[in-house]
Structure 1
Amino acid sequence: MEDQLSCPICLCLYRSPVLLSCGHSFCKQCIEKVLDSQQLSETPYSCPMCKLQLGPILELQKNFQLCSIVEAFMATSEGQQGESSAEEKKEVVPCDFCLDPPKPAVKTCLVCDASLCQAHLNKHNTKASNKDHVLVEVGAGAVVEERRCQEHGRLLECYCQDEGQYVCMLCSITGYHKGHSIITLKEAYDKQLGELSDIMSRLQERKRALGTALKELQKGENQLKTNTKTVTSQLQELFEEIKTQITEKEKKILSDIQSSEKEQLADITEVKKKMEQKRANTVQHLQSLQKMREQPDIFLFVK
């Protein structure tokens, strides 16, 4: 992979790789040096790999994909080197029961205060008396210190109920916790496990109650949606019926208005016709009287 991601000119991993029109990639600085030398020798620009002429004007396009691949490869390589260094620095603890040469230990028993290889660990675990012994990872110094009494250096095997603290046997006999309510870690575990079980039971009961309440709420929600849908449908039908009645009433009233208008217009037309006839007769009489008035012969006028 490293060979595939190396520049053909400098033979190192690509740095700011650019892509030529022929498809070959080079470090930007490397190809710029080659092109500068070609310009000084007044030869046409060409790819140093395939010798393809590139034209008088060049635009070096950054190869973003290749750049990302190189960065990912470098990050992976650095991570692997870091892991190898960490594994090399990991301390090897010898088994306390092996004869020369001792085998590497895989677990540490806090009760026996000994580190055990896999073979001695199997023997250790087969003994019934060792069933409750505490095993930790080899080299877990912080874990070991956490499980030992800071005052007496003994394993914390007991629990003080008055102070709510881990204590060793000497603490309960001669130390600060003398006279306190002391129980073993197993008893403390069983007691707190029982309390935890009670809490979990109450939570389970609460969970069931909440589940029932949620079902009732969901039932009420569904019923509300159904009722709303039914009422909405009924109202829509009612309003459609009202709209139909209003439309029919509107049509009837408009029809009656139009019929009344026609009858009244017919009456008005008839009256207008008679009045126009009377007006014409009146005009005719006026014309006759005007002609009579203009008669200059007194005899004829009086006649």
Structure 2
Amino acid sequence: MAFRVTAQSVLEKISVDHLECSICTNRFRQPKLLDCLHSFCLQCLHDLRQSQDPSGTKLTCPLCRRETMLKGSGVADLPNNFAFSALVEEVTMQENLLEGQGSKIKCQNCDEENQAVSRCMDCDNFLCEECQKAHGRMAVMKSHKIYTLAQFQSGEIVYKSKLREEVPKCGKHPDQNLNVYCNTCQQVICTTCSVLDHAKHSLTGLPEAAEKCKKKVTEMVQKSERRKTQLSTTIKETSKSREELDAMFANTQKKISKKVAKIQKEITKIQKEEQKLLKETDTIYKDKTIAFEAVQATNRKEVTQTEHKLEEVKQLMNQASCYEILELQQKLLHNLSELTGKQPQQVPDKLTFMD
């Protein structure tokens, strides 16, 4: 029996937090990307800028506090996160379809409010039986792709947003698609721009440029994964050393107490010596414990930050189009470079007490 992915199972795999803006806690509306790869609604970023510095050229991320330089029109010129927009649309559609199992979805093609039985992917509308028949009768609509609601609800047909197929337009030439990558300027351009402004530059087709970008990002991801493994190993080793420290501390206490017990004739002197030694040992132990905890805290923080950043990069690489990947190439590589440039914290000194 072939395994079928249902709409419900698709929704269960997507975290609600992944679809929500952390500022307004609502689902993303016109999400924009900051340099740190965190996304927020366009309006939320406008409000954030007003609260931080309305006339400033920097915007501080409310999650990681990293700054993003603003250009041109400010927040509006930040890169669009079409992947998140498409995902929100797709999940919302699947939810509506699932809710339709218990409630009626109305036809969007007529004013009679008939129950919908299918969806036309070309018209992007739900259809009742009559409107579906009308599609079949009209020559111009006979080629339209129509699927029943049952096909969507069962997972046989997966709804995909048209945003995933959208080809961005050039900012200078709105009638031109972005279809060339300038290696010299490291940006996606249109054919007209390539002739007028980039004639002597190194130009590459988008598929080839995207593959090179993916290769670079993959290599950096692998380096970051290795660093994450190294950090995890260091944490384990540090934990083992901490256990050794605790054992040495306990053993030293026992030696001190045993030594004091054997010297009964000089009980007063020995008791003073015992207190002195215990105090010194305790001081050493506390100092070393603080050092261990500081090392562990630093490494755990690095692991958490690395995991978050890798998840953001992977999500972006999985969801983004080649245009977005190329636009964000430098940000991706810069973020991954930061992850691979640090070494794990080590235990500050040798574990020793007195003999």
Higher relative contact order (CA 8 A, sep 6+): 2
TM over 0.5: no
TM-score, with structure 2 as normaliser:
0.29
TM-score, with structure 1 as normaliser:
0.34
